[in-house]
Amino acid sequence: DIQMTQSPSSLSASVGDRVTITCQASQDISNSLNWYQQKPGKAPKLLIYGASNLETGVPSRFSGSGSVTDFSFTISSLQPEDIATYYCQHYGNLLYTFGQGTKLEIK
């Protein structure tokens, strides 16, 4: 089974900071990697699919990159409304694996 290792598990940053989260796959997954945002008490929201494609309606300060085993998710300028937990997700043929999540807080 493919394992997804996400880091850090928590992160504190200031408004306006550039924030980066990483996700590493245990084997080659090409670009089969999505990123979700989840706010407390809410369902997850898709931000990035296929490693680097921005979902429609998602602000351009969010971006994703990477391939094979190493991926990153970046918020170019942190906003107060970005406070949430972020998850990477590998997708296969009807199979999915989430990373452990990164809880993002405002400093």
Partner 1 sequence: EVQLVESGGGLVKPGGSLRLSCVASGLTFNIYSMNWVRQAPGKGLEWVSSISNSGSSISYADSVKGRFTISRDNAKNSLFLQMNSLRAEDTAVYYCARRFCTGGDCYQDYWGQGTLVTVSS
Single out the residue of 29, 78, 89, 104 in contact with partner 1 (rule: CB under 8 A).
Answer: 89
Question: What tokens does 40 get?
Answer: 């407390």
Q: For residues 8 and 50, which CB has a smaller minimum distance to partner 1 in the complex? A: 50
Closest CA to 28 of 66, 1, 67: 67
Single out the residue of 10, 27, 39, 50 in contact with partner 1 (rule: CB under 8 A).
Answer: 50
Question: What tokens does 88 get?
Answer: 């990477």
Residue 41's identity, in one-letter code, is G
Residue 76's identity, in one-letter code, is S
Cα dihedral 5, 40, 37, 42 sign: positive
Residue 64's identity, in one-letter code, is G
Q: For residues 53 and 69, which CB has a smaller minimum distance to partner 1 in the complex? A: 53
Q: Is 97 in the site for partner 1 (CB under 8 A)?
A: yes
Single out the residue of 49, 62, 71, 73 in contact with partner 1 (rule: CB under 8 A).
Answer: 49
Interface residues toward partner 1, by CB under 8 A: 1, 31-32, 34, 36, 38, 43-46, 49-50, 53, 55, 85, 87, 89, 91, 93-101
